[in-house]
Amino acid sequence: MKIADVASQAFSMPLTSPAYPKGPYHFVNREFLVIAYRTDPEALRAVVPEPLEVVDPIVKFEFIRMPDSTGFGDYTESGQVIPVRYKGKPGAYVHAMYLNDESPIAGGREIWGFPKKLADPALRVEKDTLLGTLDVGSVRVATGSMGYKHETLDVAAVKASLEAPNYLLKIIPDVDCSPRICELVCYHMTNVVVKGAWSGPAGLQLAAHALAPVAGLPVLEVISATHILSDLTLGLGTVVHDYLRPAK
C-alpha cells in the first residue's frame, strides 16, 4: 500500500477493517430512563472541567436502549450526565458512559470523545416498573427504577431538552503517553422525533467500584425520572476549547 493510499483511505482503526462506518448515525426507537438526583456539590465541581460551569448539584443518571442504530447495531448504555453552563448558555456535560458493544465504544471515543467503557447495562419493563441496571463484571454498580408511564409529559419540552448542547472532554494520547489531543467538544442531537415521554416515582442506588466510580457522585435525593421513546440523529461535534493551545 502506497503512502498516498494510506492517507486517502485512513478513517478509523484498523486501516483495512474499521471498527465502525462513517456517520451520520441515526437511531430508531431509542429509549431513555433518566433519573435526576441531587449530589455533593464539591464532588461535582471536582469532575466538571473548566470552562464549563456547574449550575446546581444535580446529576442525571441515564439508562438507554438503542435497538436500531445505523452502523452501531443493537446495544444498551448507561452513565452520568451533568447540567452545566458554557458561556452563559445551558447544556450538559457527559461525565461517564458504560455500554456493551465494541463499535459504538470505539466510534464514540475516537470521533467525539465520549467517555465510554465496556460494561453490561440493561433497560427493561418488569410488570409495572421500568428497570435500569448497570453491571461491571459480576458487580451491580447501579439500579434505577421508575413507575411505568404514570404521567404523560409535554413532548415539545422533552424534544427541546434533547436538542440542547452537550459537551465532552476528548483525550487522545501521543505515543509517549503525553496528550496529543485534549479538547472540549460540543455536539447536538438532530432530527429529533419524540414518540412519547412519561414521568413517575423513581429510585436510584449506586455502589462503589474501583473502575466504574459512579458512586463518587453520591445520591443524596432523587428529584425526578423521565422515560422517553424517540428517533434521532447523533450529530458530529465541533471543538469549542483546546486545552493544549491556550487562548491568546
- 239, three cell numbers: 471543538
Enzyme catalytic residues: 116
The residue assigned the cell 464532588 is 43
- 104, three cell numbers: 459504538
**Which residues have CB under 8 Å from 1's CB, separation 6+?**
none
**Which pTM does this prediction carry?**
0.95
The residue assigned the cell 409529559 is 153
**Closest C-alpha to 71, from 22, 110, 108, 116:** 22
**DSSP-based three-state secondary structure for 108:** helix
Report how far residue 27's alpha carbon sits from residue 73's, in angstroms, rounded to the nearest whole number: 9
CB contact burial 104-115 (16+ within 10 A = b; e otherwise): bbbbbbbbbbbb
**148: burial class by Cβ within 10 Å (0-12, 13-18, 19+)?**
middle
**Closest C-alpha to 92, from 183, 182, 188:** 188
Q: What's residue 248's pLDDT?
A: 57
Note the Cα 59 to chain centre separation in Å: 12
Instruction: Report how far apart the first and last C-alpha atoms of the chain are (Å, whole number).
Output: 42
Q: What's residue 247's pLDDT?
A: 66
Q: What is the pLDDT along the chain (248 residues), one digit of tens a residue?
A: 999 999 998 989 999 999 999 989 999 999 999 999 999 999 999 999 999 999 999 999 999 999 999 999 999 999 999 999 999 999 999 999 999 999 999 999 999 999 999 999 999 999 999 999 999 999 999 999 999 999 999 999 999 999 999 999 999 999 999 999 999 999 999 999 999 999 999 999 999 999 999 999 999 999 999 999 999 999 999 999 999 987 65
Of the CA atoms within 13 Å of residue 156, those in its CB half-sphere come to 0
